[in-house]
Each structure stands twice: as structure tokens, then as C-alpha cells.
Amino acid sequence: MNGAQSLARTLVGCGVEVCFMNPGTSEMHFVATLDAVPELRGVLTLFEGVATGAADGYGRMACRPAATLLHLGPGLGNGLANLHNARRARTPIVNIVGDHATYHKKFDAPLESDIESIARSVSPGFVRWAGAPETVGADAVEAYRAAVGPPGQVATLVLPADVSWEPGGIVPPPPPPPPTPTVDAERVHAVAAALGRGEPSVILLGNGALGPDALASASRVAGATGATLASETFPARVTRGAGVVGVERLAYFGEMVSASLAGVRHLVLVDAQPPVSFFAYPNKPSWLTPEGCEVHLLAGATDDVPGALAALAEELGADRAPAATAPSGRPELPTGELTARSVGAALGALLPDHAIVSDDGTTSSLFAAQQTAGCPPHDWLYLTGGAIGQGPPVAVGAAVACPDRPVVSLQADGAAMYTLQSWWTMARLGLDVTTVLFNNHSYAILNMELQRVGAEGGGTRATDMLDLGRPDIDFCGLARALGLTAWRSTTAEEFGTHLAAALATPGPSLVEIVL
Amino acid sequence: MNGAQSLARTLVGCGVEVCFMNPGTSEMHFVATLDAVPELRGVLTLFEGVATGAADGYGRMACRPAATLLHLGPGLGNGLANLHNARRARTPIVNIVGDHATYHKKFDAPLESDIESIARSVSPGFVRWAGAPETVGADAVEAYRAAVGPPGQVATLVLPADVSWEPGGIVPPPPPPPPTPTVDAERVHAVAAALGRGEPSVILLGNGALGPDALASASRVAGATGATLASETFPARVTRGAGVVGVERLAYFGEMVSASLAGVRHLVLVDAQPPVSFFAYPNKPSWLTPEGCEVHLLAGATDDVPGALAALAEELGADRAPAATAPSGRPELPTGELTARSVGAALGALLPDHAIVSDDGTTSSLFAAQQTAGCPPHDWLYLTGGAIGQGPPVAVGAAVACPDRPVVSLQADGAAMYTLQSWWTMARLGLDVTTVLFNNHSYAILNMELQRVGAEGGGTRATDMLDLGRPDIDFCGLARALGLTAWRSTTAEEFGTHLAAALATPGPSLVEIVL
């Protein structure tokens, strides 16, 4: 058994079933193991950012890691932006980067580069060089353990070509399950006391606090104390819809966050960070917690976050109180002008049961979230790290993780152009992904930001850099060229018809919305 | 004057005229300077790999740097693969990476990342953080000096948002011209002596030795001594065609290099590295210089490379001898089956005068080089660092640098999918780029490599990872959706007609070759 085979078998033994890849010559022995180890499924992507984003989407939905397979430093570079998003989502990923044979590196062949420096930026907690076929299996176990945490992370394993091809591979036993996270009773007690004072309070929920049970406990706490619930602006995954506790996200713009926190005396962090402005702006604050507000930590990323919320509800005597869940209800199918609002209403009218929404819609998808609040329960995946182009790959990964669930990809035009190669992988695998493409012919968020930053002299030569027209991009044409069924909608009625058709179409499809 | 304006004016003062960009919020003040400083032209790209590759193509043709403008660590990541290629090409680039405001970084906002680690991998010689508006101009001068070298390099300047927006910017004077490179007379003498022995010798020419004058001198040396000329496998830019000295490139596969160097006793390096295998393979050597062969350095990257070759010719008494230039001649337009060979013949029949060829054709463009050897003089730009997806962006940059010269982009299908966003920028600017797209529905090179590495068990599940069919990618559809005129050719006659039409079409066009 060569090193590559021992690596593949070890990953399978750990429960890793999928490898999203864009391989090159140095990875050919690992690719060849796909026939020897059929329990590991290879998914080809045409660009590394698709592979890494798909691993992120897979990990968020499956709650266990996929592997990636990238080609040396440049391949890792191409995958870096979505690994950055995955780092912010704390998604477990075993990120395998092929490298030259160990003895070949000193020759500085054209593809030689500093993989470690690049990897550290997204894998600060775990970068390991596999040193020998005898030990690459053990390295994979450690990478898997690091990836699953808690907290979850991107764990990078660099795989030299000769470590893959040389014999002597050993498959170690899978690791013990990760330690059971615990509840810190003192923190629970302190938070209960703070909330019990009846002063204005906000409970800020992050990644670990946004599943249905945690939300129900949080709602009971809010009901018992008068505290307000909020979630971080860009969580990795939120379960929402009828029968689930709904929670408002903090706004994107700092001044709106400041307004919503004005007068708050207690901010309780539940696997969340104190809110800060997404970007800095002249004469606007970065730190958004109001002066005089006490910040309390209930639970962090390595704690039992739902357990801490349940214990808090119990301490407050509210653990049997009803949770304030969202009522069932859908908007009517809209008519008339096609706007972000009417698109949202059509989504609310038609979102399938158990849908997964991959949201990379930037300025255009706010209404969609509002209008789907009463739809049957579904999961919403946000852009965690601000690196646009996350949406289509995350949709790929979510669909691979959950083949029985429909995926809706809410996608801005500018952001789509970073990772449109994803559509081809959707077509190859016949994934049930419906892309709603908001075509407003611009980086709309940047037109807002150009004003907000107060830049002097931003005239036509500046705004030209934010304009996606001239030529207009034909997104239906792009989608069809990559194997999707596609429609273009110009009225609300058309969009309702096209969206229904797209959702009913097996395999991937796209509806382009001309705004 | 704010920091961004002083930066823009300083760059203009240094002679930087173009900035290829994909900006975000933290770069808005720099974008706004485009109106205040109209001497700096902004070129929008839809993906950072297009911006960095375009800066590479521009620098190779203009022989002076363009700037880039990238959005924090993830934007730099997206641009990394083509910066890697630029590093290998030694292209001068002033690589500007926007960052959060200095005081904002400590808040670890979602887009915060380790820019320095990422940048070091492609900018090992120069990464600088602009610290204040008063000094960013001086930082830009240093970045420019580092970029132009010699040797040329990617110089990264990290630009915090507040350094852009705060007042106090100062425009320093442009730097003195770079030091005049010199010829090392002792090396010339030693090489002349070695070649004078009449033993089998190869003169290996790298980047600085592939302009017309250097090639003529090299040819005179070869004529006087019986030495064989060869070039590195993937040089940045070669001038070739009728009336220019032609030179064979070393082969891609190591065993072919070994065969061509068998028995050679003297290897003279002229701004070149001793040949090594591109990748390592089991039981094949990485180091390709034959045993017993003496390696001599005539000139390195910081020397006067053409001068050293001229001095060598003079020392050998050959400086007035005729150079063995390529005869003028074109193949006939081919008929019959459309193959890589007939595509090459059609290119040879039709390549315009003074064309620039951006070659990212991997397995498909070898014949094109052979068949254009007698065409009017033209420049050929190779994939220097092995990171595929270089071709379309480099074509963009070459066309911006040389608006009066036609550009031909020889493009493999798999490689095209990394940076197809380039086509939109070609359309926006109306660039005269004709893309010849070899659609063989596979990563053809990897199918060869899978065999060559001797991977066990490479069956259908492995080869599936190298197959770009299912669904077939409609490259004409992609090109038209991004604003290009496009044709699909299935016979040699069709290709001749389509290529002639494409070359005659103003603005960008694409001919898809179904192989």
C-alpha cells in the first residue's frame, strides 16, 4: 500500500467520504486511489475556489469534514478566498495540498512555492507536512482531529508526491471522538444574575447558537428576562422558518448596529464576538458596543453552546416556557415590477420544504430573508468571511452533503463571476440547485460604499470601476454553456413562473433577474 | 492631498500608467483618485487573477510595471497564481493590496487576514506596509524600484484604508534610473575558452537572452564554436519569426531533455538555470545536466545579458559574422481534419505581422510554434510558473501595453476555465485579442501524466477527474455571454475561414476548435 492509499483509507476510516478536487501531476497517485478506495468519492471542480467553497458548504451541512485536493502553492492560492470564508465559519475541512516530491523541492522547479506561508493564513492552527508513507496515515488522523475540533477549522496537510507513491503506507485506527464540550455553570449563573436585573439587554448568538434547540432556549431566556435576541451579521448556518425561533441579524452597516444597541446595558455573547464594523470609515466607530454596556460571555466556541443556553433557561425557571417560534405563512406570489422585494416575495411563496439557501446576494437578498421567515423550516448559509464568490461553491457542497434537499443559491452578479465554474460541477453531478441571479449590472454595494467612505473626487472614472455593464453579462448564456437550464425574468409574474419551473426541474438551473 | 492621491501621483511620476484592479470598500479612496489623477488608467477586472495576470502581460511587453489593486488577503489569494507566474517571469509589478484601516485591524473583522504571509510567497523580495499618508509616496517609490530591479519582481505594497483617506500625502521625486548592468569580462573569457575546446556544448538562454540582439549574438557564438543553442522551456517572452534567430526550447518532459543533452560537455547558462524536471517522477532523475558536463555561467539576471553575449561573440572573433536567422515562409492553409497540427498550419498561414502570442495551450500549442517559425517577427509569451489560467489575462495585459499589435491567445480548455473572466475585460476595452480555444474535453496533460507517474489503480474513477466532458463546455456560448464574437470550427477549412474572420474582426473574438 502506497502513501496515497493509506491516506485515502485513513480518511475513510475517520468518516471523510468526499474529496473536492482540482488536481495536477503531483497529485496523480492520490487521484489513482479513487479506484482502489471507492468509499472516497472524488468530485472534480474546474477551479480550486470551487473545491474549497464546496468543502465549506459540505462541512456546514454535514457537520463533518470533506477533504480537498489542491495543486501546490498556486492551487492553494486559487482556493484561498473560500478557505478564508471557511475559517470564519469554523467549518471542518481536511485541506490536502499536493507538493513536489521531497527530494525535488531543492531544484526550485517552476511550480515550487512557499506553501506553508500561504496555508498559515487560513490554517493557523494546523499545517503539517506529510514526511513519509509510513506516517501520512497518522498525519491524516491528526489533520482530521484538528479539523473537527472543537472548534472546527481548516486543517492543511501538505502531501509530497513521493510520500504518495512510495510503499509502506499504514492505516492507523480512527481517532477517539472529540471531547464532550461542557457548560460553565459559573458563567450561566453570572449571566442569569445580569439579565435578572431587568436592564436593557441583548443576547448575541453566533454559529453554535443558531440551531433549533439553542434558539428555543434563547427564546425562553428572552421571554423570561425581556432581553432581545440578535444573531451575528454573517453566521455560518441558521435554521429558520415556521416553528423555529426567528432571530434578527445585526445589520451590516455599523451605524445601524449602533442604533440597535443604543442604551443596552448588558451584552451576552453566546459563541459570538462583540460587534465591530465590517470595514472602517472616516469618523465612524469600529467598536460598536455602547459605552457603559457590560459584556458577558455565556459560552465560547469550545463549550457546549446549546447546553449553556438550556442551563440558562433552567436557571431562570423558563425551561418549560413556550419558545416564541415563527408562525407559518407565505407571501402571495407578487405581480408587477421585478425588484429585490418582489423577488423575495416570490421566494417566500415558493421556497421548497427543507430547502438550503446559499446566500451570496450582497445587497439583493435582504428581502428574501424577510419574506421566507414563515416558510417551512430551512437552513440559510451566509457569507462568513466577506470574500464574495462563496455562494455557488457552497451550494455545490451543500447539495452533495444533502442530496435529498433542494438548494437555492441567491447570487449577486458581481460575486457570481468569481466562481461561476461551480455551475459546471452542478451540471456534472446533476445537483438540485436553483440559482437566483440578481443582475443589477454593478457592484452595487461598492457604489454605496464609495459614498459612505466619503471619497473625494469619485467621478465617472471611479464609478466605471464599479460598473458591470458595457458589455452586459449574459448570465443565462453562461449558465447554459456550463450545462444548466436557464430563464431570464423581467417582471414579477415571469419570475414566479420561472422560479417554479426551475425548482421543479431536476438538476441545476438558473433564473436571471434583470433589475 | 490624501494618501491615495499621493500614491497615484507618485506612481504616475515613476512612469506607471495602468492599474489593473478588482477593488472593494477598503480601496474606494484609491479608486476615487482615478478622477483626480487621470494620468493613471484604471482597468476593471472581474476576478483578481485577471488583474494580476494582466499586470504580468503588460510588464512583459511594456518592460515597465503596471500596478494592481486587490482587496485584502482574499483578493490577494485570488490573484496569487498569476503573481506566481509573474514571479517566475521576473515581471516588474507594483502589487497594491488594500487593507483595513490601521486602527481597525485589532478588531479582527471578517475580512481580516494575514496578508503578509500570503504576499511573501510571491513577493519574497519586497512586502511593505504603508504606514502613513506622509510616507506612502516614498513607499511607492521603493516599491517601484524593487519592481524594476534588476531583476524585475513583484513588489507588494499594502495600503491601509486610513493611509489612503487621511490628508498629508507627499509626492516624492521619481527614483534615479536603475543601475546600468555590466558584463563580467572574466566570465566571458572563461566561457570563450570552454567553448573553444570544440567539445559538445549547449548554450542555454533564459529570459534576458531571448530578444533579437541577444539571439543574434548567441547565433554568432554558436556558428563560431559549434555549440548548440537552446532556450529554457518556459521563458517569459521570446522574439521570433523571419529574420530573427530561432532557438529550440528544451522539452517539457525530463527524459527528452536528458536525451537532448546526452554527451554534452559544457553547458553555458545565459540568464538561465540548469535544467530540472518540471515534476518529479518515480525512478526518473530531477537533475538533467549529464554527469561530467561542466556548467558555466555567462551572465545572470542582474547582468547585462545581451552585452555579455555580444562580448562573447567579439572575443571569439564572430561579432561581424552573419547570424543564422529564420527564413521567411508560411505554411499553406490546411485542409481536412482539424488537429493540433492543422491548427498550427492555419496559424502559420495567417498570423498577423507583429503579433503577440499568449500561450496557455499546454498540450495543444506545440505545433503552432513550429508552424509560425517563418512568420513575420512576433513575440511569444509562455506559461512561466506552471499555474494554468495565465493565458487570457496575459493577453489582456499585452493588448493594453501594445494597442497597435494584434494579440493571439492560444488557450487550452481546462486552463481557460480558471480565468475566463478575462474575456469580459477584453470586450469592455475592445482589445484586439483573438482567442484560439483548443477544446479537447479533458485535462489532456494529466491523462499523460497519470500514465507517466506510474500510478497504480488509475481506473475510470481516476480518469473521471481529468475529463471535462459531461457536460461539454460550450466555449462559444461562454465567450458570447461575455461580449466576444465567436465561431466553432470542426474542420481545417472552417478553422482557416474562422481564424481569418476573427483576426479581421475589431475587438476580441474566439474560435473554438473541437478536437
Burial (CB count <10 Å: 0-12, 13-18, 19+), residue B185: exposed
Chain B within 8 Å of A49 (Cβ-Cβ)?
A: yes
In A382-474, which ranges are continuous DSSP H helix? 391-401, 413-416, 422-429, 444-452, 460-463
Name chain A contacts of B156, Cβ cutoff 8 Å: none
| Homologous superfamily, domain A340-514 | Thiamin diphosphate (ThDP)-binding fold, Pyr/PP domains (3.40.50.970)
Is some CB atom of chain A closer than 8 A to the CB atom of B13?
Answer: no
Cα A224 to Cα A320: distance, rounded to the nearest angstrom: 11
What residues contact residue A63 under an 8 Å CB cut-off, 6+ apart? none
Cis amide prior to A506 (ω within 30 degrees): no
Distance CA B35, CA A458 (A): 6
DSSP A188-253: HHHHHHHHTT---EEEEE-GGG-SHHHHHHHHHHHHHH-PEEEE-SS-S-EEESTTSB--EEPPSS
- For A32, the closest of B122, B458, B483 (CB atoms) is B458
C-beta of residue A181 within 8 angstroms of C-beta of residue A302:
yes
Mean pLDDT of A370-395: 97
Using DSSP's 3-state secondary structure scheme, residue A283 falls into coil
CA distance B350 to chain A (A): 29
Helix, coil or strand: residue B425: helix
Residues recorded for chain B: 515
B330-351 pLDDT per residue, tens: 999 999 999 999 999 999 999 9
Cis peptide before B151 (omega within 30 of 0): yes
d(CA B326, CA B328): 7
Q: What angle do CA A145, A150, A151 make, to 5 degrees?
A: 110
**Of the candidates A120, A140, A32, A28, which has an alpha carbon nearest to the alpha carbon of residue A76?**
A120
Across the interface, do B88 and A110 touch by the CB < 8 Å criterion? yes
Q: Which residues of A touch B118 (CB under 8 A)?
A: 77, 80, 117-118, 121
User: Does any CB of chain B come closer than 8 Å to the CB of residue A259?
Assistant: no
> Strands A201-205 and B127-129: what pairing?
unpaired
Where does B115-211 have alpha helices with state H? 115-120, 136-148, 161-165, 185-195
Q: What is the pLDDT of residues B145-157, one digit of tens each?
A: 999 999 999 999 9
Q: Which of B249, B267, B247 is nearest to B195 (CA)?
A: B267
Cell readout for A390 is: 462563496
Q: What pLDDT shows up at residue B413?
A: 94
ω into B471 cis (within 30 of 0): yes
Q: What are B337's strand-pairing partners?
A: B491
CA distance B300 to B307: 12
Q: Above pLDDT 90, what percent of chain A?
A: 93
**pLDDT confidence of A26, banded at 50, 70, 90?**
very high
Contact B280 A424 (CB under 8 A): no
Cβ contact B214:B235 at 8 Å: no
User: Which CATH fold would you assign to the domain A185-315?
Assistant: Rossmann fold (3.40.50)
* Rg value, chain A, Cα: 24
CB contact under 8 Å between B84 and A109, yes or no, is no
Report yes or no: B481 and A474 within 8 Å, Cβ to Cβ: yes
C-alpha cell at A343: 423577488
Instruction: Return the closest-CA partner of residue A78 out of A54, A123, A47, A46.
Output: A47
Q: Is the pLDDT of residue A445 over 90?
A: no
3-class SS at A371?
helix
Residue with cell 492560444: B410
Give every CB contact of residue A256 below 8 A, 6+ residues apart in sequence: none
Query: H/E/C letters for each residue in B8-32?
Result: HHHHHHHCCCEEEECCCHHHHHHHH
Q: Give the cell for residue A53.
A: 467553497
CB A20 within 8 A of CB A58: yes
Report the SS3 class of residue B29. helix
Q: What pLDDT score does B363 carry?
A: 74
CB count in 10 Å sphere of residue B239:
16
Residue B514: phi and psi, rounded to 5, are -90, 110
The answer to whether the Cα torsion of B250, B254, B260, B263 is positive or negative is: positive
pLDDT tens track for A277-320: 999 999 999 999 999 999 999 999 999 999 999 999 999 999 99
- 3-class DSSP assignment, residue A96: strand
What DSSP character marks residue A372? Answer: T
- The secondary element (H helix, E strand) that includes residue A512 is strand A509-514
Q: For B24, which residue in chain A has the nearest alpha carbon? A: A446
HSE-up of residue A331 (Cα within 13 Å, Cβ side): 20
Q: What's the pLDDT tens digit per position in A202-255? A: 999 999 999 999 999 999 999 999 999 999 999 999 999 999 999 999 999 999
Count CB atoms within 10 A of the CB of residue A102.
Answer: 17
Distance linking the first and last C-alpha atoms of chain A: 57
Q: Is B60 on the interface with A (CB under 8 A)?
A: no
Nearest to A362 by CA among A445, A265, A424: A445
A117/B113 CB distance under 8 A = no
Mark yes or no for CB contact B471/A80 under 8 Å.
no
pLDDT for residue A3? 98
Question: Which string of DSSP letters, residue by residue, matches A312-362?
Answer: HHHHTT-TTSPP-BPPP--PPPP-SB--HHHHHHHHHHHPPTT-EEEEE-G
| Alpha-carbon span B331 to B348, nearest angstrom | 6
- Chain B contacts of A471, Cβ < 8 Å? 424, 427-428, 482-483
Grid coordinates in use for B501? 474572420
Architecture of domain A3-165: 3-Layer(aba) Sandwich (3.40)
The residues that bridge with A204 in the sheet, in sequence order, are A230, A269
The whole-number pLDDT of residue B457 equals 67
Task: Please state, for a pLDDT cut of 70, what percent of chain A lies above it.
Answer: 99
Q: How far is CA A403 from CA A14, A58, A93, in A?
A: 21, 11, 19
CB proximity under 8 Å: B 116-175 to A = 117-118, 120-122, 124, 161-162, 165
Q: What amino acid occupies position B465?
A: M
According to the model, what pLDDT value does residue A452 have?
81
Do B470 and A428 make contact, defined as CB atoms within 8 angstroms?
yes
In the three-class reduction of DSSP (H, G, I as helix; E, B as strand; rest coil), residue A451 is classed as helix
Pairwise CA distance, residues A72 & B84, whole Å: 11
> What residues does each domain of chain B span?
3-165, 203-315, 340-514
- Residue A456's pLDDT is 66
Sign of CA dihedral B361, B365, B366, B369: negative
Amino acid at B33: T
Mutation choice for B interface testing from A25, A99, A281 by most B CBs within 10 A: A25
Q: Between chains, do A450 and B482 touch, taking CB under 8 Å as contact?
A: no
Q: How far is A138 from chain B (nearest CA, A)?
A: 22
Q: Say if B3-165 and B340-514 have the same CATH topology.
A: yes
Pick A506 or A138 by higher pLDDT. Answer: A138
Identify whether the C-beta of residue A411 lies closer than 8 Å to the C-beta of residue A361. yes
Residue type for position A331: P
B318–chain A nearest CA distance, Å: 34
Spans of chain B below 70 pLDDT = 456-457
Tell me whether strands B238-240 and B378-381 are parallel, antiparallel or unpaired: antiparallel
> Which helix H or strand E contains B87, and what residues bound it?
helix B72-89
The three three-digit cell numbers of residue A59, written as one number: 462541512
A405: contact with B, CB 8 A cutoff? no
- Bridge partner list, A491: A337
Please give the full DSSP string across A65-92, using - where no structure is assigned: PEEEEEEHHHHHHHHHHHHHHHHHHT--
Asked if residue A457 has pLDDT above 90, the reply is: no
Mention every residue, 6+ apart, whose C-beta is less than 8 A from residue B183. Answer: B299, B303, B304, B307, B308, B311
Of the candidates A151, A152, A96, the one whose C-alpha atom is nearest the C-alpha of residue A129 is A96
Q: Do A84 and B75 touch (CB under 8 A)?
A: no
Predicted complex ipTM exceeds 0.85: yes
Selected residues 421-480 of chain B with any CB under 8 Å from a CB in chain A: 421, 424, 427-428, 445-446, 449-450, 453-462, 464-468, 470-471, 473-478, 480
Q: Cell 461539454 appears where? A: B472
CA pair distance B8, B83, nearest whole angstrom: 21
**Element (H or E) spanning B359, and its range?**
strand B356-360
Rg over alpha carbons for chain B, rounded to the nearest Å, is 24
Interface of A with B in 358-387 (CB under 8 A): 384-387
CA distance B104 to B274: 47
A73/B80 CB distance under 8 A: yes
Q: Residue range A472-494: average pLDDT?
A: 98
> Which chain B positions have a beta carbon within 8 Å of A480's beta carbon?
474, 477
